[in-house]
Structure 1
Amino acid sequence: MMSSNENLATLFNPTGALRASINVGNPILARLDESGRAAGVSVDLANAFAAQLGLLLELRVFNSAGESVAAVSEGRADFGFFAIDPVRAEQLAFTEPYVVIEGCYLVRDDSHFKDIAQVDQPGIEVVVGKGSAYDLYLTRELKHATITRSPTSPTVVDTFLAEGADVAAGVKQQLEFDTTRFPGLRLLPERFMEIRQAMGVPHAYGKEAAERLRQFVEQAKASGFVAEAIKRHGIVGATVPG
């Protein structure tokens, strides 16, 4: 008879290997290091979860959130790290968030925009990363502005400048970095959304697998593992929710 842990291991690796979907398009969570390997908070969590289950880990690395979500939803990976969103929740069972970051707007220095309430107006073009959490959110929330989609989150500002758009939307830290790449840009004060990053597993894996993943995240937060990983990777502006 299989032990509880052996049973869970079977649930999480139907193909014989535990496959984690990693999005390196969000540098708060993961990035490619100098050797070209994925590294970051989500990679550390993936390794810790595999170790807890006693399984070898395979990383499936993607450049965008949309690709990363699709890999898990379509069975090409067993779990991943995503911003919680109701559209994604149709396919995935989410844990509680392990880190919270901010979604913000960026404009040119000479833009007339002073606050985020001015953005949703007819004739305004907002650039977002295709399939990102803030793409899904703004698609629902913006009633008048037009959305243009960049291939990935790190290319949002490049697309914003190339298209002559009015506003770029993204993760605050990425946009702050982009202001160092391109002079003459500024962030609007305040955030337009709070991005709650969680781990997720397909609903098809069952409630037991989803509960085990949830327990792992809560343990990782309570033990200080997530906070230590954030500090170790030099991440600024991300908080660990209680």
Structure 2
Amino acid sequence: MTTFSRWLPVLVLLLLVGLGTAGAAPDHVAASRLDSVRQRGELTACSTGDYRPFTYLDPATGQWTGIDIDLAADLAKRLGVRLTLVRTTWATLPEDIGRRCDLAVGGVSVTLDRAARAFFSQPYLRDGKTPITRCENVQRFQTLAQVDQPGVRVVVNPGGTNEQFARQNLHRATIVPHADNNTIFEELVAGRADLMITDATETRWQAKQHPQLCAVHPDQPFTFAEKAYLLPRGDVVWQQYVDQWLHLARNDGTYDRIAQPWLG
């Protein structure tokens, strides 16, 4: 008997075992936040509550409103769980993902700094930084060079991309921090600041709420940016589920139905 003949039964057995297990599901699948959300019956979403029209927490009533609040509620509904909203700040947002909540919503801009510490969903809105000012000053602040002049007061909300943009690009203008993003536009109305540079979507919405204020070229912002949802780093299964939900919502009419009352 040749050497090959002696080993042939063993090779056949190994081949049969391989064929029998190739299509079998693994005994253990790595746990994902998708599983834990369903098991506990709750989706926790962090949000700052201070960035309309995306997110707003009414201090008098405790009621949350906004585009992303409604979208998070739709995600929870499709998961078959309840939605719990958790107040966070722009400065602590990346650290709160995974520690205090399953995702973060509320006009979160995609940045490389955040992407280094957490996952992003696919983007759902294109945006960019542009000024908002009193209407009589629109022509005065058309360019960054016009904004970055001695005596110009630029109000910023600390900890987010608005402050980062201002400090990176403005060196002669005066940057005026204002901690409460819910009242920051009153500083412009009252004349205590000359302008704010924020996302074009917010400038359009705030101009509707304050007739004295006008968005400066919101269709041609200074920068390119996108909005997305922030997710815990490393959980690809959860990221893919949220991406698939967002893809369906943007194409089955859900996103348009929710965004229309806010964005028009």
Give the 3-state SS of the residue equivalent to 1:47 in structure 2: helix
Where 2:249 maps in the other structure, the secondary structure is helix
The one-letter code of the counterpart of 1:226 is: Y
- The match for 1:215 is 244
Q: TM-score, normalised by structure 2?
A: 0.70
TM-score normalized by the length of structure 1 = 0.75
1:173 is aligned to 204
Q: Which amino acid aligns with 1:58?
A: T
Q: When you count strand as a share of all residues, which structure comes out higher? A: 1
Aligned residue among 90, 105, 113 for 2:131: 105
Higher alpha-carbon Rg: 2
> What per-residue deviation string (whole Å, max 9, x for no partner) do you get for residues 47-85 of structure 1?
2222333333211145x5445x25633711110121212
Is contact 2:133–2:216 with CA below 8 Å preserved after alignment?
Answer: yes
The answer to whether structure 1 residue 39 and structure 2 residue 70 are counterparts is no
Distance 1:201 1:166 in 2: 36
- C-alpha contact 2:102 2:231 (8 A) present in aligned 1: yes
Question: In the TM superposition, what are the counterparts of 1:1-242 in structure 2 within 5 Å?
Answer: 7-10=32-35, 12=37, 17-32=42-57, 36-62=62-88, 65-66=90-91, 69-70=93-94, 72-73=96-97, 75-81=99-105, 82-108=108-134, 111=137, 113-117=140-144, 118-160=146-188, 164-170=192-198, 171-177=202-208, 179-180=210-211, 183=212, 185-189=213-217, 190-203=220-233, 205-231=234-260, 234-236=261-263
Contact 1:72 1:201 in 2 (8 A): no
For 1:94, the aligned partner's letter is: F
SS in 2 for 1:83: coil
Q: CA deviation at 1:228?
A: 1.0
Aligned Cα root-mean-square deviation (Å): 3.5
Residue of structure 1 equivalent to 2:5 = none
Partner of 1:76, secondary structure, is coil
Could you give the per-residue CA deviations for residues 148-198 of structure 1, whole angstroms, max 9, x where no partner exists?
Answer: 222133322234566833322232134304533xx4x44433433344221
The structural deviation recorded for 1:32 is 4.4
Cα 1:146–1:207 change in 2 (3 A) is: farther
State the alpha-carbon separation in 2 of the partners of residues 157 and 95 from structure 1.
30
Cα pair distance change 1:228/1:124, threshold 3 Å: same
Gap runs ≥5 in structure 2: 1-25
Unaligned 5+ runs, structure 1:
238-242
The answer to whether the 8 A contact 2:134-2:189 is kept is: no
Cα distance in 1 for residues equivalent to 2:43 and 2:57: 20
Q: Specify the alignment match of 1:240 in structure 2.
A: none
**Given that residues 23 and 30 in structure 1 are in contact (C-alpha distance below 8 angstroms), is that contact kept between their aligned partners in structure 2?**
yes
